[in-house]
């Protein structure tokens, strides 16, 4: 059986009905792949909100071009190609980032970086060897990886995601990019070098497994308690000495547990004038996170304030990436706007 015939044999029967204009067949197939396409767009763009928009754009483009589906690939691969091109178009409209340099901090230098709620990843990889398994692997969804990808030129980004995340062959990646296999391999090698330069130093250790350990759960409890008490001294003790803090889209960051907490205290942390904090643990990007609510001195309710995304290592907090807990993020996390 030839390559084209083999691909056709894997195509869902309803795909040809969808290509012929059957709206219900098309909708059923498209919805089947919605969540994984959103994760793909999220990796490409680093923005949760944009990923939602790009999936809709993908479906619109696919419907308009439905007659171009000939069964030479699976319907899923065809949708991925359309989604990738939609993302590439979106990237062209973005302002260019400065070229990455030694010592760059992608987590603080990507102004559009947003977290991805874990609840939307649930059920995507129920089969360990299924095509979605790699898509939600912990090491390819964490914030550090998502931020580092944003430093790559568009074609290198596609090559890395197609080959190292989706597990596609070089030939499949070349077809996706409409280029040659040597060009894909070259782009992939350059992308791997850049990614390696900007990932945390102990990445191999902290990406193993997805379930939190007893030590991690205990550390998260102590982080919540220290936050709610406004206990600066306890916060310093919870963090590793070289801990890192950033709050996208602000370009500033702090390094060092004492420097981080001093900056928080200067901003009002722990003071009566600032108000009182309450926390709600959650998870994003396969990482522990804490939704922080603030009750101002003149208020009676705790209102959504910030989302702290944590990286825990060897019993200490080594990284905190904080995001404004706005209405869109509250809705995405499915948490209450007030406590």
Q: What string of DSSP letters covers 68-113? A: G--SSS-HHHHHHHHHHHHHHHHHHTSPPPPPP-TT--HHHH-TT-
Q: Check whether residue 187 and residue 221 sit in a common domain.
A: no
Kindly state whether residue 259 falls inside one of the protein's structural domains.
yes
Q: 222 by DSSP, 3-state: which?
A: helix
Q: Check whether residue 148 and residue 78 sit in a common domain.
A: yes
Q: CA-CA distance, 294 to 8, in Å (whole number)?
A: 56
pLDDT digits (tens, 9 = 90+) for 240-282: 999 999 999 988 899 999 999 999 999 999 999 999 999 999 9
pLDDT digits (tens, 9 = 90+) for 202-248: 554 434 445 678 888 999 999 999 999 999 999 999 999 999 999 99
Quote the number of domains for the chain: 2
pLDDT digits (tens, 9 = 90+) for 151-168: 999 999 999 999 988 889
Domain of residue 259 covers: 214-333
Other C-beta atoms closer than 10 Å to the C-beta of 25 total: 18
Higher pLDDT, 140 or 318: 318
- pTM, full prediction: 0.89
Q: 254 is written with which tokens? A: 């702090």
Q: Check whether residue 202 and residue 299 sit in a common domain.
A: no
Q: State the burial class of residue 329 (Cβ atoms within 10 Å of its Cβ: 0-12, 13-18, 19+).
A: buried
Q: CA-CA distance, 170 to 162, in Å (whole number)?
A: 9
The CATH number of residue 267's host domain is 3.10.450.50
Show the CA angle centred on residue 183, arms to residues 181 and 184, nearest 5°. Answer: 65
């Amino acid at each position: 059986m030839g390559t084209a015939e083999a691909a056709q044999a894997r195509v869902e029967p309803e795909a040809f009905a969808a290509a012929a204009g059957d709206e219900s067949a098309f909708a059923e197939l498209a919805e089947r792949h919605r969540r994984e396409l959103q994760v793909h767009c999220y990796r490409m763009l680093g923005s949760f909100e944009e990923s939602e928009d790009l999936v809709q754009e993908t479906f619109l483009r696919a419907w308009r071009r439905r007659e171009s589906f000939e069964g030479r690939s699976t319907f899923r691969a065809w949708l991925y190609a359309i989604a990738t091109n939609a993302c590439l178009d979106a990237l062209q409209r973005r302002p260019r980032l400065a070229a990455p340099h030694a010592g760059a901090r992608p987590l603080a230098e990507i102004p559009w970086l947003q977290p991805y709620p874990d609840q939307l990843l649930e059920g995507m990889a129920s089969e360990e060897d299924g095509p979605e398994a790699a898509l939600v692997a912990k090491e390819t969804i964490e914030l550090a990886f998502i931020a580092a990808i944003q430093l790559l030129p568009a074609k290198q980004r596609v090559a890395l995601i197609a080959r190292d995340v989706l597990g596609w062959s070089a030939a499949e990646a070349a077809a996706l990019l409409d280029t040659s296999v040597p060009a894909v391999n070259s782009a992939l090698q350059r992308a791997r070098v850049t990614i390696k330069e900007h990932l945390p130093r102990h990445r191999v250790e902290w990406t193993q497994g997805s379930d939190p350990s007893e030590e991690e759960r205990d550390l998260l409890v102590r982080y919540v308690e220290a936050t709610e008490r406004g206990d600066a001294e306890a916060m310093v003790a919870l963090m590793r000495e070289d801990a890192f803090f950033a709050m996208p889209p602000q370009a500033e960051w702090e390094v060092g547990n004492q420097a981080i907490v001093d900056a928080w205290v200067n901003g009002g942390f722990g003071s009566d004038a600032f108000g009182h904090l309450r926390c709600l643990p959650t998870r994003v990007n396969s990482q522990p996170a804490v939704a922080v609510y603030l009750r101002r001195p003149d208020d009676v309710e705790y209102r959504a304030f910030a989302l702290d995304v944590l990286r825990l290592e060897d019993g200490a907090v080594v990284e905190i990436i904080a995001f404004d807990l706005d209405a869109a993020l509250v809705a995405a996390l499915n948490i209450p706007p007030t406590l």
